[in-house]
Structures are given as structure tokens and as C-alpha cells.
Structure 1
């Protein structure tokens, strides 16, 4: 009976040790997989880029026809989506200020 107890105790100890080692290996594998996924995500992430700067408005040299053409050009850039409304207003104010 003592022999059976020793064999059973040894088997339990070995089984527990194997289970702990296997759990440790799985944890290491999960950490390695998470690290590889993070590296992949960083490598293939879409680059963020700024939209191109707005095209400079033609300078008005004081002639009303040139000023009107410059304002029309700004309006076209705004309509095309190159300029935001705020950028359009700022450029228009510069042109009108001289």
C-alpha cells in the first residue's frame, strides 16, 4: 500500500510539473505571437500624411480685373476641395486687404 502511495504521489508531482511547463510554453508562445503581430501592425500601418498645402493665390497688383480673377481662382479651389472654407476666407481677406 505504501508503494502505491509513493507511485501515485510521484505520478501526481510529475503530472503537475509537466502541466506547469506546458502552461509556461503556451504563455511564451502567446507573448511571441503578440509581439510578432505588433511588429507586423507597425510595419504595414498606413502612413499618415498631411494634405498638400493650398496653392498660393495669384497676387493682385491693384487692378480690379486681376482681383476678380484671383477671387474666382480661390472660389474654384474651394469648390474643388483644395481649400477649406476657413482657408478660402483667409486668402480672400489677404487679397482684399491688398
Structure 2
């Protein structure tokens, strides 16, 4: 009888260990799959977003203003437009500075 109990006990230990290992592997795989699904969803979401429009070309050269006040008003309006484009994320800081320098030159 002691031999039978020892065999049953050994079987129970082996089965319990196997179950614990199997559960741990399953949880680890589920975590990996969940991470992969999350990354794929993020990739799809980014791919579905419209790419930002290309940065606008340099502001067109305006016809010579009638007087200095008109010229200043036009430059201020163009600077405001550049600032709006920068705020919207269309222009980077470098592009904004470059366009601003070209406008004020």
C-alpha cells in the first residue's frame, strides 16, 4: 500500500507541476498576443490617418504695394498665416523660421 500511495503522490505532483507550467506559458503567450494585437491596431490607426499635407511653398511674391503701410499689413497677414500653419503642425519650427526670414528680408 505505501508503494501505491507513493506512486499516486508522485503522479499528483507531476500533474500539478505540469498544470502550473502550462498555465504560466498560456498567460505569457496571451500577453504577447495582446501586445502584438495592440501594436497592429496602433499601426492600422496611424496608417488610416491622412498624411499631413506637404508644407506650402514660399509665399508668392505680392505685387508692389501702393505704400509702406500696405506692405507692412501684407507682411503681418503673411506672418499670421505662417504662425497658423505652424500651430496646426503643417510647418516645423525650422520651416517657419526659414519662411519668416524670407518674408522679412
Bin for the TM-score computed over the shorter chain: 0.5 to 0.7
Larger RCO: Structure 1 or Structure 2 (Cα < 8 Å, ≥ 6 residues apart)? 2
**CA deviations over 1:47-68 (Å, ceiling 9, x no partner):** 56267425323154xxx62776
Q: Which structure 1 residue ranges, 5 or more long, are not aligned?
A: 94-98
Distance in 1 (CA, whole Å) between partners of 2:50 and 2:42 is 12
1:90 paired to 2:94: no
Equivalent position of 1:9 in the other structure: 10
TM-score (norm 2): 0.64
Contact in 2 for aligned 1:74/1:88 (Cα 8 Å): no
Task: Pick closer, same or farther for the CA change 1:57–1:71 going to 2, 3 Å.
Answer: farther
Q: Which structure 2 residue ranges, 5 or more long, are not aligned?
A: 86-95
TM-score (norm 1): 0.67
1:49 paired to 2:61: no
Distance in 2 (CA, whole Å) between partners of 1:16 and 1:67 is 88
Q: CA RMSD in A?
A: 3.0
How many residues are aligned here? 90
